[in-house]
Amino acid sequence: MYENILGRPIPVVNEKTVRGNYKKLTNLLIDNKLSITTMESATSGQIASLITDTEGASAIFKGAYVTYSNEMKIKCGVPAETIERYSVYSKETAEAMAVACKEAFGADIGIGVTGTMGNVDPANLKTSQPGMIYYAISIGDKIASYERKLFPQPSRYMYKLAVADMICASIMELIEEVK
């Protein structure tokens, strides 16, 4: 379960539903000729995979980074100062990730996601909080960032799907706002 905007728990996601939501998102991106890219840490490329599961995604999907380590985030364009000042687990780092991948791939939309799933990250012991997720969406000249608390999930895969589902809903809302 995870919290919605009102802070109420939402049940464990259904994989079929998440995949259906991403099919709608990918088709919406295709219909609106909006390209997208991701820089994923906590979700390990799950969002990129879900987007590209829909036929025709090559028309809108520019590529992706999976930056599981701090070093790779920096190599892919996240300022080291951002990670040092705010920590790798922060909205600011997610924002820098979204902007860096959007610029690197020349996409209309950039997604950055970082956080800790169900366990403490041994590489970032001081800032790792299990269940805390930070993500940002850069679209046009707007950057929307989010901080969400995940409730325990039955597996790492379900954590990734839960985060991906939240991000999908946020992207769709933002696309409607900028239309």
Q: What is the pLDDT of residues 23-34, one digit of tens each?
A: 999 999 999 999
- DSSP letter at 85 equals H
User: Per-residue confidence at 81, pLDDT binned at 50, 70, 90?
Assistant: very high
What is the separation, in whole angstroms, between the first and last Cα of the chain?
31
What residue type is 118 in one-letter code? G
Residue ranges per structural domain of the chain: 13-178
Q: How far apart, in whole angstroms, are the C-alpha atoms of residue 4 and residue 19?
A: 19
Domain 13-178 - what CATH class? alpha beta
Q: What is the pTM of this model?
A: 0.89
